[in-house]
Amino acid sequence: MIDIDTKRTVRRTTNFYFSHFSKPQRTVRPTIYAITPTYRRAVQKAELTRLSNTFRLVPHFHWIVVEDSNLRTELVSRFLARSGLQHTHLHVPTPRRYKRPGMPRATEQRNAALGWLRTHRSSKDTGVVFFADDDNTYSVELFDEMRLTRRVSVWPVGLVGGRRYERPLVDKGRVVGWYTGWKANRPFPIDMAGFAVNLQVALSNPRALFKRLGSKPGMQESDFLKQITRVEDLEPKAANCTRVSLAVDPLSSRPALLSPSPCAFTASSLADVTATTPLAYALTAAVIIYRHDNQVLVWHTRTEKVNLGNERWKDSVQIEV
């Protein structure tokens, strides 16, 4: 631009002000994709309600619910429509031959959700994939922990494996072993609720699925994780997996807790494993608080079975449970 009086070239001020005072662009927060297999039973709606009450508090959240059914049921369809959550409703039945006791569960449903993500999301999308079974209880804080997962993140889980909690053992920011009560020699002795996967890791490994053939009960997590990561590459969350307290859903059955004893495939003498001695505080027999303000962010709870044959009389009004 030229000044008409001095005939000199002057710098245009518009770009200067725009570059210094324009609002910075907001960083896009990764979307959390929670995959929940579900099946028809008396407590199904109660379980889904508990989850939805938590999920509604989580921003940038997408709920993928997969029914073990030949079709989408009216109960789940209506429930999701009223939930106010961004959701995807899928269905795929488990073959009858795999419904025997002792067989891995929800394999087809989790794989269907992974297939949906690989079809409807691309390398331009940011997100984290989390397997949120409907019989568990999740802290809202957990989703803040997992949202910045770079590849695969891990954390403690309460009320699992016959113990008050299970967790990865961490030394200098790396997973070196496991505190677990069942089959510590598994490649990844971890519960389905104890890890999250970056969306791009799931998309870039299209053959990574939960195995049905040759898979044994309790090995689904290991069979899946060993296709996409290594133990030494895991990202410990929740203060290096030391946030350990116990909360029991009042509706959940009481777990049979075994005597805690560290079981790890890697020798470790981490001092924080000793955070298992509770203070003498209990709230309505539901919450036990441990020393050092440690906390668990997810609990492997299971609602007790309801006997629907004990009603002495039938209500004239049919109410959906």
Cα–Cα distance for residue pair 286/252, rounded to 1 Å:
10
E strand map for the chain: 31-38, 61-67, 87-91, 127-131, 137-138, 152-154, 157-160, 163-171, 174-179, 195-198, 235-236, 246-247, 278-283, 287-290, 298-299
Q: Is 135 annotated as a binding residue?
A: yes
Residue type (1 letter), 38: T
Tell me how far apart the terminal alpha carbons of the chain are, to the nearest angstrom: 73
**Is 145 designated active site?**
no
Residue type (1 letter), 313: W
Helix 74-83, helix 44-55: angle, nearest 10:
20
Neighbouring C-beta atoms of residue 142, cutoff 10 Å: 23
Active-site option among 108, 221, 235, 320: 221
Tokens of 30: 């990764």
Secondary structure (3-state) at 199: helix
What residues are paired with 65 via a beta bridge? 36, 89
Catalytic residues: 221
What are the binding residues for Mn(2+)?
Answer: 135
What are the binding residues?
Answer: 135
